[in-house]
Amino acid sequence: MTSETAITWAHAGIEPLADELVERAVRTALAHGGRAGTVLSVVFVDDATLTGMHAEHLDDPSPTDVLTFDLGKEGEGPAGELYVSVDCAVEVSRRRGVPLERELCLYVVHGVLHLCGFDDGSAEDRARMRAAERTVLLELGFAPDDAPHDVER
C-alpha cells in the first residue's frame, strides 16, 4: 500500500514547497519510522492558528512549529494530521541561516516521526529524533545542517 497525503495550504500567500516534495517527505519519514502506507493530512497554517491549537489541545499557549495528531483507527480518513506553522519556519530559517524549504521539510519530517513513535522530551529521545531527521532529510537530498535546532522564538 502506498501512502496518501492530503495537503492544505491554509496560510495566506506562501506556498514555498511543492506538494510532491511534501508527499515525498511524508513517505520517506513514514518508511523510516516503520509506518509506510499510513494516510496523513498535512495542513500549513499561520502562527496564530497553530498557537491557538497548541493551547486548546495541549494546554500550552506558547508558539510551536508543528503539531501531530494520531487519529489511530477512528474510522474513515487519515490516520494522522500534521499542522505546520509557515510563520515559524520563515522566522527560524532566517535565524538559523537555512533555506525555508528545508526548514518546512524538517517540520513535516519531525511531525511524521512523532506519529511513528519518536519523541523529543528527554536528551536521549531528542538525540534519536535529530538522528532520524538527519537521515530522512539526507535521503530527500538536503545537505547536512549543523545549525542549532532549538532556536528560541
The pLDDT of residue 57 is: 87
Q: Cα separation of 102 and 70, whole Å?
A: 24
Across the chain, which has 153 residues, the per-10-residue mean pLDDT values are 63 74 95 91 91 87 88 70 92 90 95 93 93 96 78 51
The CA–CA distances, whole Å, from 134 to 7, 79, 141 equal: 23, 24, 11
For domain 5-139, say whether CATH 3.40.390.30 is its number.
yes
The pLDDT of residue 149 is: 64
* pTM more than 0.95: no
The pLDDT of residue 2 is: 43
The pLDDT of residue 71 is: 84
Task: Tell me the three cell numbers of residue 137.
Answer: 532529510
